[in-house]
């Protein structure tokens, strides 16, 4: 049974529903972020131009700096969306106890687990399959389709080695694992093929049987993880993509580690920056985020002068310059939140029905923002997530009930938010007695 592909109108409606559903849950939508983005035009343009340079074979990085509520998470998601639109594979890593900055293998593992294309999440298998298929296609074309199966397999194995020659000179295990994956697929040994992919992605507990068949000793560790990342990017480009864009988020958690671990993590950043500058990581883009304390605090980047020197910025004079190593995000304010609300109404119109803009007027939006900020110490920068959840709920009620009057019916009482608040939101919440 052939199911027709949705037309453009249906796709836009599906995207609109996805955006509204995400806002209902208090999360950043997976797509269509340009439709609700406000005040980030300059930053987006800078990042887009960096990605154009990386797609030509360069390597680049950007550090995003902002307090909670400044939109770091949104800008990261939007940047990766721009990257995918430009043909990049992306991955989003959140620094945590399971993936600390000083454990490069853990970062590599998270990168592999989060590979995403425009069409697919968890895309490692598809990327590797596409790369191998492109090698076969090129070989068959060069031989006028005269290669027999055995000859094609042998020629493809040689091409795998040649494509990764720069990596294999230092460590031959990557090419060996990819050859094993290719041959296992050809013979229908899918458990072995799956084990090969798992080993490539630095997954734990890959059995000794795979390593014996592949002729590999040991596993991917911190000493070779960057080398394997270079090999992964070579495979990604060989599969027809522009390169790899990686977001490393919430780096401020590094400040809570012991000094030796902190400094090792910060030295990892020095390694990345220097490798990009030397041209050792072509077609690779890194986006790092952190709070101002990460950049300026005594336990932050300032504690490692070589890193601080590389990413410090000229003092601002009121004119933003996101071309500097850091993009400095301003706190969210009322005018920006009003603009977001108006954009959300346009998205809602495509998802469901045109909102009643007399009941949900611009004046009401201002009043709603004021009601919520009053309960959070007047901090507009803290409330966007909460406001948008409440706002979508109110739009739903207006759409479902003709007699619902938001001026009379809406009252912000955050009892229903208990257990859903983040620590930054709880910290400024005004408690009623």
User: Domain coordinates of the chain in residue numbers?
Assistant: 13-117+241-328, 124-226, 334-428
Residue 369 exposed, middle or buried by CB count within 10 Å (0-12, 13-18, 19+):
buried
Q: How far apart are CA 205 and CA 300, in angstroms?
A: 34
Residue pointed to by tokens 């425009």: 118
Q: What is the pLDDT of residue 146?
A: 61
Give SS3 for 327: strand
Q: What is the pLDDT of residue 6?
A: 64
Give the residue from 43, 46, 49, 100 showing the smallest Cα distance to 72: 43
Q: What is the pLDDT of residue 153?
A: 76
Give SS3 for 91: strand
Give SS3 for 316: coil
Q: What is the pLDDT of residue 352?
A: 94
Q: How far apart are CA 238 and CA 167, in angstroms?
A: 14
Q: Is the dihedral of CA 261, 264, 266, 272 positive or negative?
A: negative
Q: How far apart are CA 286 and CA 244, in angstroms?
A: 9
In eight-state DSSP terms, residue 314 is P
Distance of CA 168 to the CA centre of its chain: 29
Give pLDDT tens digits along the chain (433 positions).
455 556 777 889 999 999 999 999 988 898 899 999 998 999 999 999 999 999 999 999 999 998 887 888 899 999 999 999 999 999 999 998 888 999 999 999 999 999 999 999 999 999 999 999 998 888 877 776 666 666 777 888 888 888 887 777 767 888 889 999 988 988 899 999 999 999 999 998 887 888 888 888 888 899 899 999 999 999 999 999 999 999 999 999 999 999 999 999 999 999 999 999 999 999 999 999 999 999 998 999 999 999 999 998 887 677 778 999 999 998 888 999 999 999 999 999 999 999 999 999 999 999 999 988 888 888 888 889 889 999 999 999 999 999 999 988 777 766 666 666 777 777 776 655 4
Report how far apart, in Å, the C-alpha atoms of 218 and of each of 52, 171, 224 are.
Answer: 37, 12, 11
Q: What is the pLDDT of residue 90?
A: 98
Q: What is the pLDDT of residue 289?
A: 94
Answer yes or no: are the C-beta atoms of 112 and 225 closer than 8 Å.
no
According to DSSP H, which parts of 241-333 are helical? 259-278, 292-296, 305-311
Q: How far apart are CA 66 and CA 251, in angstroms?
A: 12
Q: How far apart are CA 179 and CA 168, in angstroms?
A: 13
* CATH fourth-level superfamily of 13-117+241-328: P-loop containing nucleotide triphosphate hydrolases (3.40.50.300)
pTM (two decimals): 0.88
Q: What is the pLDDT of residue 1?
A: 45
Q: What is the pLDDT of residue 433?
A: 40
- H or E element that contains 185: helix 173-187
Q: How far apart are CA 96 and CA 304, in angstroms?
A: 21
């Amino acid at each position: 049974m052939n199911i027709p592909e949705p037309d453009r109108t249906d796709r836009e409606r599906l995207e609109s529903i996805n955006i509204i559903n995400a806002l209902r849950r208090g999360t950043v939508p997976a797509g269509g972020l340009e439709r609700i983005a406000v005040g980030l035009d300059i930053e987006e343009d800078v990042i887009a131009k960096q990605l154009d340079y990386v797609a030509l074979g360069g390597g680049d990085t950007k550090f995003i700096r902002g307090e909670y509520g400044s939109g770091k998470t949104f800008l990261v998601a939007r940047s990766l969306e721009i990257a995918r639109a430009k043909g990049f594979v992306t991955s989003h890593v959140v620094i945590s106890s399971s993936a600390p900055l000083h454990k490069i293998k853990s970062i590599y593992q998270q990168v592999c687990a989060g590979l995403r294309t425009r069409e697919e999440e968890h895309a490692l298998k598809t990327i590797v399959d596409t790369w191998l298929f492109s090698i076969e296609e090129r070989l068959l074309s060069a031989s006028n389709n005269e290669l027999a199966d055995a000859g094609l397999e042998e020629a493809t194995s040689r091409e795998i080695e040649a494509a990764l020659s720069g990596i294999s000179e230092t460590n031959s295990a990557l090419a060996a694992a990819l050859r094993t994956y290719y041959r296992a697929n050809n013979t229908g040994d899918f458990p072995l093929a799956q084990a090969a992919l798992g080993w490539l992605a630095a997954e734990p507990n890959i059995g000794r049987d795979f390593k014996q068949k592949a002729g590999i000793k040991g596993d991917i560790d911190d000493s070779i993880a960057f080398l394997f990342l270079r090999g992964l990017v070579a495979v990604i480009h060989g599969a027809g993509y522009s390169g790899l864009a990686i977001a490393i988020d919430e780096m401020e958690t590094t400040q809570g580690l012991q000094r030796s671990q902190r400094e090792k993590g910060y030295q990892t950043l020095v390694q990345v920056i220097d490798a990009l500058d030397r041209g050792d990581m072509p077609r690779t883009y890194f986006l790092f985020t952190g709070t101002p304390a990460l950049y300026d605090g005594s336990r932050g980047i300032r504690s490692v002068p070589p890193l601080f020197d590389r990413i410090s910025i000229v003092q601002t004079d009121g004119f933003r310059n996101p071309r500097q190593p850091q993009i400095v995000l301003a706190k969210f304010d009322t005018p920006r939140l009003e603009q977001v609300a108006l954009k959300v109404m346009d998205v809602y119109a495509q998802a469901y029905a045109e909102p009643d803009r007399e009941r949900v007027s611009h004046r009401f939006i201002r009043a709603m923002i004021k009601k919520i900020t009053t309960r959070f110490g007047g901090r507009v920068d803290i409330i966007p997530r909460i406001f948008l959840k409440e706002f979508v709920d109110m739009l739903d009620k207006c759409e479902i009930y003709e007699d619902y009057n938001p001026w009379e019916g809406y009252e912000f009482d955050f009892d229903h938010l208990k257990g859903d608040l983040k620590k930054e939101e709880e910290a400024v919440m005004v408690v009623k007695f």
